[in-house]
Every structure is written in C-alpha cells, then in structure tokens.
Structure 1
C-alpha cells in the first residue's frame, strides 16, 4: 500500500514526551524521557520533514522515515533536548485509532470515542451498519467522505446507511453517535456475517449491504474442544439493508479465541472475525 494520506490533527502524549505544533509547518519534540537506544519515534506523521535539528544548538540530527513514522536519533549525551522538525507542508497525521479495511474491504470497528478513522485499501462505494442502543425518535447526521445522510435513531440501528464514496489510501473520519458500541462498514453489494457476544451466548448476524434480496447458508466452525447449541442456519429473502441473527450458546476452554462465520451467499460473501473471551 502507498503511504496513507493523513488528516489535520494533533499528536497524543508519547512515551518519550510530547510533540507540540508551533505553526502549520513546525513541530517541537520535547524529550522528557530519553529512550535507551537514543531514538525517538513519532508515529503517524504523514507530512515529509524538511529538516530536523536540535532546537538549542541548531545542530542537524539524523532521522529517517519508517512507514508513516518519523524516527530521530538524539545526541549521544547531554540533557534531553528539544527537537525542531520543519515540515514541507501543513501537518497531516494518521490518528492512532485508524482502522484499515480487511482483505474483503470490510471494517469492523469498536469505537473508543465519538469519532472513528477509516482507511480503504481501494476506492469503493460503502454502506454503514451501526450497532447499539439509541432513542428511536432521535435524529442523526451521518458524515463520511464528504457525503452526509440524515436518519432517525430507529433507522440508525435497524438498517444499513449509505452509499458513501470511500477513497483509497486516505484517512476518513466518521462521527459515531452516542450509544453506538460497534460499527460495520462494507462495500455496497457485500453480504456480511459478524459475531456479537452476549453474557452467556453469542449472536451470529448476517447483514445485506447489497441492493437486492439474498439467500444463503451460515455455519459457525468451532475450535477443538468447543461446543455450541446450534452451528448451522439458512436464510431466504434478506432484504437490502436488513440483518438477520441467530443466538447460540457456546462453551470452550478459558482464554481468548477467534471465531469466524462461514457464509455462502454469493460471490460477495464476507465474514468478520471476532475474538471472544471465555
């Protein structure tokens, strides 16, 4: 993949100190804790540096790019310096919560706040399925990739929303309504199987991100020494934008385990893996 295009933003606190934006094209790296190897890594810097110097002396410092990270070698001795990074353009970053689509072009996001950041591997028209609890009569504006869509709370959690034109290799923010605990995004035309854990069981959900009704077969393969009350289901006439789900009780050894549904619903069938904790 080419270098991902970032978005305007700010850096979070780093293990070695903090990065402060002095102007659109100047960063100061305040080193509070010198790394053992004397190398400072600033993750997610998309804008190419023009030069990197020690702020007090103006001495040029050795630096390199590692993917979207900037790595700077500090002077071998002396007090922790302040590093001045002049940029070739305005600051653009890749936020740490950025999620890249999987090989099927699908995002499965557990939001950490009110905004999620997505990157597509290829250009595609996508739709969004929000999972959570919101007031049915509430109103929401969904914005993604320069397009917006107004929906009620009932529409928000009952059907897919879109389409939205997702560009390739560019970080795109998505506002997440309060009450949403999971976001599924898939190319239009996809039939997606996902796993949703509950207290004593899991729910296997199939969502039709396409434009025509679909039918298919669903299987929940299990690791050795596992059991489930049900593992096979069929469905017919699943309308565009809608979902159907089945609840099954599972039992297995303690620990973290990845499960993935096997779905047969045409050539655009996709499955999102999920790690459950027993």
Structure 2
C-alpha cells in the first residue's frame, strides 16, 4: 500500500489538501465542508482512496475530475451526504400547503390545469410521499388539477431507496395509525435493528417522479421550469453563503410567477436573496416569487 494512503487514513489530510478537496466539492456539488467537518470528510475520502487504489489525494482528485462516467464522484457524494428525515417532518409546512398556498395558486386557473411541486433534496422519499398523502387527505380540490410531484437528490443510493418506498418504524413515527393502515403495507424482512418495515402503496410510489439532480449544476437545474411550489428544507444549511445565493437564484428561475419556496425552520430566504417576498400564512412562512417575476 502506498505510504501516502496510509497517512491519509491515520492522520487525515493536510490543511492544504483538505482545502483543495473542499473547494472541489463545493464547485461540483454546492456542499460546503468547514473545519468542523474535517474528521467526517477525512475518513470517507481515505476509504475511497484505498478502495480505488489511488496514490494519494492528488491522484484521487484527478480521477474525480476526469473520469468520464462520473461514477467515483457519485460514490463519494453518496458517502458525504446526510439523509435524516421522516414522514410528516415539520408538518405545519404541509398544512400551509393544503390550507393556504395551493388555493391561492389555483385561483383563476381552469380545472384540469397543471400544478408542479418539487421536493429538492428529497433523500429517501419521506417528504414527497408526505406531500402526496397530505394532498389526498386534506386538499379538497386534488382531483380538479393535474398534479406533478417531482423529487430530486444528489445521492443516487437514497433515490433507489425512495423509489423502493420501504420504511422502518422510525421513519413512520409521526404518521397517524389510520394513515399507516391506508397507505402502507407490511414488508417482508426486518429492518437493521430487527424491527418491522412497511412499503408505501404502489399508487403513491408511482405518483412521484424521482431524479438524480445536483442543484448546484446550472445545466441540471434548467430541467426544472414552471414549478409552483419548491420544498427545499434543511439542504441549504450545507451550502456556504455564495452557494445559498446561487441556489436562491436557481429556484427563482425554476418557479412560475407567484410560486412559493418552502425552507427549513432554521432557514430564512431574506439572508440569501431579495428576489422573494416573505408570505406569512396561518400555518407557516413561505417565500413567493412575485407575480411579475421580479423582486419587490
């Protein structure tokens, strides 16, 4: 084994190497890793350097930059992302969607027109499936419109799990028993901790279109246009200030005039961009793209 690999595993990356790697990851993914995340990053990068047999970080970075398939970069991204979520997380924002935002969005629209909702950073799928359940259970006009549920993540492994739709007790902890019985079926095989698992019904699995998307990549982001509501909760906390501003600009371009962005409870669009108008609804604060498409 190359001595530099052993050093990377036992002592971690040098300050210069760590900065180089973080700059690369920020440029390619938008994710920002500070000094506080150094141990987390060190271990994961060292494991991949060893796995591919690279002669240290420089050789590994060359692989990430120039590998035509992009497979190794995807493997590293999958290791670097944290996917902590569960059904009905921060439910008050889903309540805002079905109690206020959607009714405002469809005002004046004819029946049968399209509504597009995008869960950006969907992880293992609990968020878009929660949206689907809320629409079916609580929005009386759900059958009057053609609703597209889009969901994306930069991590290909969690997207596979989202499409499979199998969850353990922890993911379902916030779900009322009658909704679990209605929308989930017992699944063969226990979870890692030995507990039972459930699979979301086929109708809901087919209602969400999952795709691999890096929101920091302008070319990939351009695929999303005419969106009415974007859920991007607790993702931009992993970006630096510049990355958050760029993401806000991308969301502005993706939204239809009058569309809404829903952020995590600790996030505020006012710290990122002046392109949106804060809207205080009874259940939550959302951020709206002005109807004229510009800032107010």
Task: Tell me whether the two structures share a fold, i.e. TM-score over 0.5.
Answer: no
Higher normalized strand content (fraction of residues): 1
Higher normalized helix content (fraction of residues): 2
**Which TM-score applies when normalising by structure 2?**
0.25
Task: Identify which of structures 1 and 2 has the higher relative contact order when contacts are C-alpha pairs closer than 8 Å and 6+ apart.
Answer: 2
Which has the larger Rg? 1
**Which TM-score applies when normalising by structure 1?**
0.26
